[in-house]
Chain A
Amino acid sequence: MTYAAKNLTTGGRELIAFRVGDQEFCVNIMSVREIRGWTPATPMPHAPPYVLGVINLRGAVLPIIDFSARLGMKPAEPTVRHVIIVAQVNTRVVGLLVDAVSDILTVADSDIQPTPEIASDSERSFARGVLAIQGRMICLVELDSVFPNEEREAA
């Protein structure tokens, strides 16, 4: 896994940027455990469509969430080129299927702009803010709401 650019200046917070379709997102590096290639997942019965199934992560059973489908976009058709971001969300470890990891960003808190006022609640719920970097727009993802606890308990 190579990263297109490294921007490790001192201070600020570090974010891992990734790509899903033609959009860019990022998550706090502190919640990321590892990044690994796609392996076929075992489907779960009665799972919501964005739960691709579970894989074996060194003995632990790891659920895989299709990030694209989770956001209501086109479900991914996973290939060996897809990657899984293994992230810690509260006490759970979950895998996030994305197209590719693109960057490690170091940004100051002041660089994070509030989420624009958009109509859709679902889009707003998983975005913690947006970043403008070299003409790109990168959405800072709120992991907690990507894996809503209530919803998974009800599932």
Chain B
Amino acid sequence: MDMNEIKEIFFQECEEQLAELESGLLKLNDGDRDPETVNAVFRAVHSIKGGAGAFGLDDLVSFAHVFETTLDCVRSNRLEPTQDVLKVMLRSADVLADLTNAARDGGSVDGARSRQLIAELEALANGELPQPAVEAVKAAPVAEAPRPTVNEEGFQPVAFSFDEFDSSEPPTIEPSTFEIVFKPKSELYSNGNDATLLLRDLSRLGEMSILCDMDELPALDRMNPEAAYFSWKISLKTDKGEDAIRAVFEFAEWDCELEVVLAGDAHAGAGEELPMQPVPFDLSLLDDEAPAAVAEDEDQSADQPRELHDATVSAAATASNILHMAQTAARATAETAKTAAPAPVAAAQAAGQPGASAATPTIRVDLDRVDRLINLVGELVINQAMLSQSVIENDTNGTSSINMGLEELQQLTREIQDSVMAIRAQPVKPVFQRMSRIVREIADMTGKSVRLVTEGENTEVDKTVIDKLAEPLTHMIRNAVDHGLETPEKRVAAGKNPEGTVRLTAKHRSGRIVIELADDGAGINREKVRQKAIDNDLIAADANLSDEETDNLIFHAGFSTADKISDISGRGVGMDVVKRSIQALGGRINISSKPGQGSIFTMSLPLTLAVLDGMVVTVANQTLVVPLTAIVETLQPEASAIHSFGASQRLISIRNSFCPLVDVGRILNFRATQANPVEGVALLVESEGGGQRALMVDAIQGQRQVVIKSLEANYTHVPGIAAATILGDGRVALILDVDAIVAASRGQSLKPEMTLAAAG
């Protein structure tokens, strides 16, 4: 594994940490005061900083460092996480994400923005602390281990007495004593964890005594600076149970050897059973990042905290030399250990909720490998279908065992296919989280106060769908905040909460994913839309449109109800492009809007792009597949319904309206002359402009799910053809691009699709 691969893993982890960070901050923003949430946020920034330090990403490290310091203030209850504070933090999270991306892709970041946030973060940290460690923090170059800062006010010795634990008060709740052996591997430190932090967390669970085993510590000249030599024997009396103990080590469980044993005798001193010569470990020293600072000071610890502290610092000066060598990777994290012991209440709460819910174990796999597997399974499905077909064709009576075997094979292949498809499925959470950033940015720009509520973010859908969902969603969210929501003043005047709400929900419905974007704004201004449509000659001035039809007008190209062009919208990229992107994904989009109450955009999307529901049709002896989502209805044209229009056009009358007929075989150049419509079947399809076309095909074979295969990989894009698939007989069938065919039937030249990114 070379450096670049390791770096790539780091960036992948960063992405996860950033998502964790943002969701944690949002939880806090919603009033969640769970210390575990604060810890999770802190850990996220901390891990990014640790990793970034290892790769020498200085910009990232220095920003993360200041961020972390401020978060630490929150963690230690020195800073109240108010909405204002969280606003700064959420913006900081955005900058941290930008810095991470810049570090990965080599781009640059708006320096002024990050400098300003650094100033704001420092101000926050300073606000509650007259002379906190921020001074040292600012000066600390991250590659260097910061000197221990003596902070008299911040120093709070933990009230344990290790000499006396044998005679301690009998507890009111029946606690049990656990013997814990904690032996960190060097990975623990290189992953940015710190044994001292874990021990401190452990100390919050109950009464604890620690013995540090330094037996493995070699002579200085034989020491490997990257290795971990210390281990700890801990005796912990707690009523929280073993799970709570294990939860403390949850983040380090792969990086250490951990034994948690319930001691038979609750009063047995841990020291008596220890085989080696242990060095007692003073918890209060954790505050000074010198866990190895040794026993001489121990006796004084209870009543002479000041002296102890001084002594510790001098001891730390020598001890930390060794320590710092042993913990190179943990250096960047060291100053966090200075955190004063938190209030007992918080500690008790933290212990009461042992960690986040245990995550199911996962592995990271190259997408290529998964795709290869999916391809192979697709082949298996086709082969299975071919086999079934030939068995049916060569039907020899009385071979029911073959038929039974085939049936089982069919069932198995279908199950395998489903499971393989599920591998690619991922929750929509990352996209939703990205949207909260966009809401924040637009809200800042427009001076509106907006709350984004997300629901069903764990709804799973294929990765390709998730990737392609971000662009249309971004546009719609921008629209919702910019056009949908009123200004706070207007909202108050309308008797609403000045803070607007945008609700983003995802759920599964009948094999598709339905994503809903609702705002509680003013709704669509139908008068304005109507006027605009008349101005643009989209509708006649006296047209009588239903509310729904009026709302749907906003999907027309170049349609924007914004009065003036702003940075955010009105640059001609409208809902038409959004609709096209959704349709390109095989989805549909609907609007429902109530004046004064808001609008709801509902998108229904397929769960995967690898499989498509299609209508298999025959055209000029060729088998083609028409995506089912495009088809509104199918009908058998009668001669009386067909009307010629000019030299070559033909129209079909459907319920008293006339719809142009498009001969698919002719437009694809499969035959030279138009087929007789009466001999074929018409597929009524809806085109992107909202108009309808009747596609003429020769016959319908049936409806089935097909696996989509790329044409572009070995050939090239073909106008009118979206992709290819392989049918049961092993032959390739083409999948129609209905929109392109409709466009071609209008006489438009087929041009490359405009992308949202290019136009926005």
- Hey, which bits of chain A sit against chain B, CB under 8 A? 40-47, 53-56, 58-63, 92-94, 152-153, 155
Contacts and interface: CB of A to CB of B under 8 A. Distances in A.
Contacts of B379: 58-59
B724 A54 contact: yes
Interface in B538-559: none
Given A55-B732, A59-B379, A46 B668 contact: yes
B751 interface: no
26 contacts: A42-B731, A42-B734, A44-B734, A45-B669, A45-B670, A45-B734, A46-B719, A46-B720, A54-B732, A55-B731, A56-B726, A56-B731, A59-B376, A59-B382, A59-B709, A60-B714, A61-B709, A61-B711, A61-B726, A63-B714, A63-B715, A92-B713, A92-B715, A93-B714, A152-B716, A155-B718
A54 B714 CA distance: 10
A40 B732 CA distance: 10
Given A40-B731, A45-B721, A46-B669, A59 B378 contact: yes
B669 A61 contact: no
Contacts of A92: 713-715
Contact of B713 (A40, A53, A55, A60): A60
B579 to A, nearest CB: 26
Nearest to B711: A61
Contacts of A46: 668-669, 718-720
Contacts of A61: 709-711, 713-715, 724, 726, 732
Interface of B: 375-376, 378-379, 382, 622-623, 668-670, 709-711, 713-716, 718-721, 724, 726, 730-734
Contacts of B710: 61
A45 B731 contact: no
Nearest to B664: A45
Nearest to A44: B718
Contacts of A44: 715, 718, 721, 734
Contacts of B721: 44-45
Contacts of A53: 732
A62 B712 CA distance: 10
Contact of A54 (B375, B376, B715, B720): B715
Contacts of B376: 59
B716 A155 contact: yes
Contacts of B709: 59-61
Contacts of A58: 379
A152 B712 CA distance: 10
Contacts of A94: 714
A93 B714 CA distance: 6
A43 B718 CA distance: 12
Among B715, B716, B724, chain A packs the most CB atoms within 10 A around the CB of B715
10 shortest A-B CB distances, which residue pairs?
A45-B668, A63-B715, A42-B732, A59-B379, A152-B716, A61-B724, A92-B714, A56-B726, A54-B732, A61-B709
Which of A41, A58, A94: most chain B Cβ within 10 A?
A58
B743 to A, nearest CB: 14
| B378, B382, B623, B718 pick with most chain A CB within 10 angstroms | B718
B735 to A, nearest CB: 11
Contacts of B622: 42-43
A41 B382 CA distance: 17
Given A54-B724, A61-B724, A42 B711 contact: no
B718 A47 contact: yes
A53 B731 CA distance: 11
A143 B700 CA distance: 40
Nearest to A54: B732
A59 B706 CA distance: 12
Contacts of A54: 711, 715, 724, 732
Contacts of B375: 59-60
A46 B378 CA distance: 28
A151 to B, nearest CB: 9
Given A42-B731, A92-B715, 14 more contacts: A45-B668, A46-B720, A53-B732, A54-B715, A56-B382, A58-B379, A59-B376, A59-B378, A60-B714, A61-B714, A61-B726, A94-B714, A152-B715, A153-B716
A45 B718 contact: yes
Contacts of A40: 731
Contacts of B718: 44-47, 155
A58 B710 CA distance: 13
Q: Which of B382, B714, B726, B731 has the most C-beta atoms of chain A within 10 angstroms of its own C-beta?
A: B714
Contacts of A45: 668-670, 718-721, 734
A30 B710 CA distance: 25
B714 A62 contact: yes
A53 B668 CA distance: 13
B3 to A, nearest CB: 28
B675 to A, nearest CB: 15
A63 B709 CA distance: 13
A32 B709 CA distance: 23
B213 to A, nearest CB: 58
Q: Max chain A CB contacts within 10 Å: which of B382, B721, B726, B733? A: B726
Contacts of A155: 716, 718
A155 B724 CA distance: 17
B744 to A, nearest CB: 10
Given A56-B730, A59-B709, A43 B670 contact: yes
A56 B732 contact: yes
Contacts of A56: 382, 726, 730-732
Contacts of B668: 45-46
A58 B716 CA distance: 19
Contacts of A152: 715-716
A152 to B, nearest CB: 5
Nearest to A93: B714
Nearest to A47: B718
Nearest to B667: A45
A44 B711 CA distance: 10
A68 to B, nearest CB: 20
Most chain B CB within 10 A, of A41, A43, A44, is at A44
A10 B669 CA distance: 51
Nearest to B750: A46
Contacts of A62: 714
A155 B726 CA distance: 23
Contacts of B378: 59
A46 B734 CA distance: 13
A114 B147 CA distance: 75
A85 to B, nearest CB: 14
B706 to A, nearest CB: 13
B207 to A, nearest CB: 64
A32 to B, nearest CB: 15
A60 B730 CA distance: 11
A53 B734 CA distance: 11
B674 to A, nearest CB: 16
Nearest to B733: A42
B32 to A, nearest CB: 48
A130 to B, nearest CB: 29
Most chain B beta carbons < 10 A, residue from A45, A55, A94: A45
Contacts of B731: 40, 42, 55-56
Contacts of B715: 44, 54, 61, 63, 92, 152
Nearest to B381: A59
Nearest to B621: A43
Contacts of A59: 375-376, 378-379, 382, 709, 726
Nearest to B372: A59
B134 to A, nearest CB: 54
A63 B724 CA distance: 12
Nearest to A51: B715
Contacts of B716: 152-153, 155
A89 to B, nearest CB: 9
A71 to B, nearest CB: 20
Nearest to A155: B716
A153 B752 CA distance: 12
Contacts of B711: 54, 61
Nearest to B379: A59
